[in-house]
Structure 1
Amino acid sequence: MKRLLIVAHAPSLNTLKLREAAERGASHPDIEAMEVIVKPPLEAGPEDVMACDAILLGTPENLGYMSGALKDFFDRVFYPVLEEKQGLPCALYIRAGRDGTGTQRAVQSIVTGLRWKWAQEPLILRGEWQESFVEEVEELGLYLAAGLESGIF
């Protein structure tokens, strides 16, 4: 049984919809050998990262940066998992009211330092809210879980 950890900050109804979509995609009925754990960044810790086989990160864009909660998560897990979890497959979605590039750069910098490996390029959901964002994040969760289950990642 593989374990996918979803760590996503959801301070609004729309970002909660995204986190739920990620979980729904990762928990697709066709993916049988997968345990999906969903935690807000302030509740997730090094033990969660150590116990997972892949991680899906989610954050809103806050002042051109990741959420403070996701930054706090990285601050708490960085050194405790650095040596043990190199090569951890990861993915990211960003709910960006503007362009999301500052947020993307910040997360990519930390992920590079952790030596995790991107399962795919970060998904940036730009501009005004669109219901299609939910489907895109659900597909991201499905893709990551399916790739993990099949041994691609």
Structure 2
Amino acid sequence: MSSKVLLIVAHAPSDNTRALRDAVLRGATHADVEAVEVRYRAPLEAGPEDVLGADAIILGTTENLGYMSGALKDFFDRSYYPVLELKQGLPCALYIRAGMDGTGTRRAVESIVTGLRWNWVQPPLTLKGDWQEGFVQQAEELGLYLAAGLDNSVF
């Protein structure tokens, strides 16, 4: 069975956001997922070649002044046009670590994803307010959901 590639591009500048990134990775590499290769790239290291080699993508960002992180925006700036015509329909998901409500961040990413014509596999996961340990479980479930769906050709 050939392997599919799940790309995770996540900004993780703090202990809490690194815990979320690690949870997404843990879920995506669950033992029950057999034919999915998981590739993680920090947004400033990721580029169009990573997206072109992916069968699905999970985006992770902090809420910065009501917007996505500058690092994720930089990734989109460098990758948008090189992948625009080649990766339409790419299954995607998003998680946001939001100190406030995450609305502006969500809207900004949704606008770019709509332009890219990627397909949401579930509504964006907004982890808002004060840190809660339950955020880690939700992030892990997101990683598992995408990897399992890709493994089983659901999307």
Matched, 1:42 2:41: no
Alignment of 1:52-131 (within 5 A): 52-131=54-133
Deviations 1:102-144 (A, max 9, x none): 0000000000000000010000001000011000000000001
The answer for the alignment partner of 1:136 in structure 2 is: 138
The residue number in structure 2 matching 1:147 is 149
Identity across aligned pairs (percent)? 73
Structure 1 residue 99, shift from structure 2 partner: 0.3
TM-score normalised over the length of structure 1: 0.99
Cα distance in 1 for residues equivalent to 2:38 and 2:94: 16
Cα distance in structure 2, aligned partners of 1:96 and 1:19: 14
Q: Deviations over 1:83-117 (max 9, x none)?
A: 00000000000000000000000000000000000
CA distance in 2, matches of 1:60, 1:124: 10
TM-aligned CA deviation for residue 28 of structure 1: 0.3
Instruction: Please give the secondary structure, in 1, of the residue aligned with 2:8.
Output: strand
Quote the Cα distance in structure 1 between the aligned partners of 2:130 and 2:85: 40
Task: Please list every run of at least 4 consecutive aligned residues from structure 1 whose deviation after the TM superposition is greater than 2 angstroms.
Answer: none
Query: Which runs of 5 or more residues in structure 2 are unaligned?
Result: none
Q: For this pair of structures, how many residues does the alignment match?
A: 153
Q: Which amino acid aligns with 2:26?
A: R
State the alpha-carbon separation in 1 of the partners of residues 118 and 65 from structure 2: 25
Mapped partners of 2:21, 2:97: distance in 1: 11
| Matching residue's letter, 1:100 | G
CA distance in 1, matches of 2:78, 2:39: 18
Deviations 1:59-84 (A, max 9, x none): 00000000000000000000000000
Amino acid at match of 1:119: V
Residue 13 of structure 1 and its aligned partner are, at CA, apart by 0.5
CA distance in 2, matches of 1:117, 1:148: 13
Unmatched 5+ residue regions in structure 1? Answer: none
